[in-house]
Structure 1
């Protein structure tokens, strides 16, 4: 497998068995993220206040532990090259880390709890990132300046308006589509499909809803994935790299796999003793899925 290649596996298959367990976190794991492009490393954050970087291949050892947060870490996010990553924790701090040295480069707070954090995806805007805060606001933070811009609207990662402010170019995200229907439930987790065409949203009424991510942002009523129990948990959804399958954990600790075309629930695996909060399909592998749970374990399936 060429980890540097951008090519997608031609055909993916259902994972059947447990291949490996990464152990080291002493409390529940909140989120896992694969290293950009190569996916040879795995970043995890936990309620034990620690962030760990694991090898996905070879000995699958823990390469580094990042210590610096005083409360549970809720989310992590790599930049486009993987040289740095961000963390968001209940100690009300967002921290920027150097992936290689383990150093904390910068820290930010507006005295609210950050729930999620994301780098700007554009290559020339890697110094900007956004975080969703506990006061229902989204803040945009420039890496190298202490100022914090606040937005009350949902942010589409690809839509920007450039505005000149005292001769400094600033990028102001604009809320370009707002969807609210009486029947809609809270959607605490969203994933963009590998082909960039769809957004998979975990809905609190035990369904995964699919929205078109291009041009007209609207619900695809033919693609609704059911059969799992997630009520109350922000279980992260993912796609297989060839777009054949949709995967998600659930409240019972199970890994659920649906067929993308027919929306049929194909396979359920008892993956964790507590909530299975995230499932990631390895972008270069035909049948390797990584799950993490509130039992503190991270598992590799094949």
Structure 2
């Protein structure tokens, strides 16, 4: 790639694009949406929006949130992003119990299965760990100095997940690598034992997720800028199957829309029973459903869920209890975007379980606004507005950026020597003095 082309992409503004994110409580108790610096949570049990409180004495997020996640039981929730803050929340009260400051911007976050640790990755490719204690961090602490435990040095970590049994932590980066590391009993001494590398993607890896059949072996799923979804035996680092998105989407999109920048995988989400995988694609207005045969170790196309032309999901989430697939569209850090324009749009797909496998309908239903749980109350809390006209105006600009944003964020940039020196002089990520 030419230096000038990359530099133009960088300064255009869209390179700082921050997609809206969605996360669902494992037992379906709540759903959270992050857009820009805003964290919006809706309690599905009480049917009301959640008011967040911060007992850790730190500040709220002041810049784009880049990563959110629930813990395995749903007792904890973590958020992190460009303001270099990592915040841990207790979901029974939605109060922040821990605020940690990173030296660099944060790209991914995860909570260990036992809920004793939160890990986060920075833009330099280092994974840091903060202990929460055996009580899940109940004792409030303002600042806890993180410890580095592993790294993909000089490569941005795009996704990080703990395995279902908690024994491994998987990390993916923009240089097409997936590393599976044994998570030690005492991670404060570092996580030095690499279990495997899952190598096969030919472009950046944008997302990873573990999947398993109840009581059975677990596997790793990944999606990336090479327009593929891959199934891995992560214990041995073996590629089991590859689904090529371009082969299917070429039938639906215009010829000029089938390049890599439109067909990069934005997110993947397996169903709780391990039989389905939902895939969000950078330039597609909807989602692709794949069947995941973990016995035959095979990924196969099942159905397309097509939504309105103006809706391209940026994030997916599901929970085991209500069989809903949550999708969100939205963005922040757009050129000339005001804080009042931080709108998102939600679309919810029901019956995201084995029932879809037996359905003969090629157009699975997407819930209408009037059919979503708790109706307008939920939409107002998570979308930010019910004004359809206003949404269309704001999200139209988001739609244009979505089709090129991921490559501008994740493709590895190359600079001339002169440009490299200019960037060094303008850096604002100096280490925080302890």
Quote the offset at 1:44 in angstroms: 0.9
Quote the offset at 1:218 in angstroms: 1.1
- Number of aligned residue pairs: 250
Quote the offset at 1:53 in angstroms: 0.9
Determine the C-alpha separation between the residues in 2 that align with 1:15 and 1:225: 31
Determine the C-alpha separation between the residues in 2 that align with 1:228 and 1:34: 31
2:63 to 27, 32, 40: 27
Determine the C-alpha separation between the residues in 2 that align with 1:71 and 1:7: 33
SS in 2 for 1:218: strand
1:18 to 31, 36, 49: 49
2:349 to 238, 249, 258: 258
Give the 5 Å matches for 1:209-248: 209-215=288-294, 216-221=298-303, 224-227=305-308, 229=310, 231=312, 235-248=314-327
Q: Taking structure 1 as reference, are residues 14 and 211 closer, same or farther at Cα in structure 2, changes over 3 Å only?
A: farther
SS in 2 for 1:182: helix
Going by fraction, where is helix more abundant, 1 or 2? 2
Determine the C-alpha separation between the residues in 2 that align with 1:8 and 1:113: 31
2:274 to 174, 183, 196: 196
Determine the C-alpha separation between the residues in 1 that align with 2:287 and 2:46: 20
Q: Which residue pairs with 1:285 in the alignment?
A: none
Contact 1:258 1:266 in 2 (8 A): no
Determine the C-alpha separation between the residues in 1 that align with 2:103 and 2:178: 23
Q: Which has the higher contact order (CA 8 A, sep 6+)?
A: 1
The alignment status of 1:45 with 2:110, answered yes or no, reads no
Contact 1:137 1:152 in 2 (8 A): yes
Contact 2:292 2:299 in 1 (8 A): yes
Q: Taking structure 1 as reference, are residues 22 and 44 closer, same or farther at Cα in structure 2, changes over 3 Å only?
A: farther
Quote the offset at 1:98 in angstroms: 1.4
2:129 to 60, 77, 96: 96
The alignment status of 1:136 with 2:176, answered yes or no, reads yes
Quote the offset at 1:18 in angstroms: 3.0
Going by fraction, where is strand more abundant, 1 or 2? 1
Larger Rg: 2
Q: Which residue pairs with 2:411 in the alignment?
A: none
The alignment status of 1:107 with 2:149, answered yes or no, reads yes
Quote the offset at 1:115 in angstroms: 0.8
Quote the offset at 1:183 in angstroms: 4.2
Measured against aligned partners, the alpha-carbon deviations of 1:65-109 in whole angstroms (never above 9, x if no partner) come to 022x22221211122211123212213211122123645343322
Determine the C-alpha separation between the residues in 2 that align with 1:217 and 1:122: 23
Quote the offset at 1:25 in angstroms: 0.7
Contact 1:225 1:265 in 2 (8 A): no
TM-score w.r.t. the length of structure 2 is: 0.50
Measured against aligned partners, the alpha-carbon deviations of 1:166-185 in whole angstroms (never above 9, x if no partner) come to xxxx9422110011143442
Unpaired runs of at least 5, structure 2: 1-25, 30-43, 55-59, 138-143, 184-189, 202-207, 211-217, 221-233, 250-262, 331-342, 357-363, 373-378, 385-393, 396-434
1:175 to 227, 239, 258: 239
Unpaired runs of at least 5, structure 1: 1-5, 161-169, 276-302
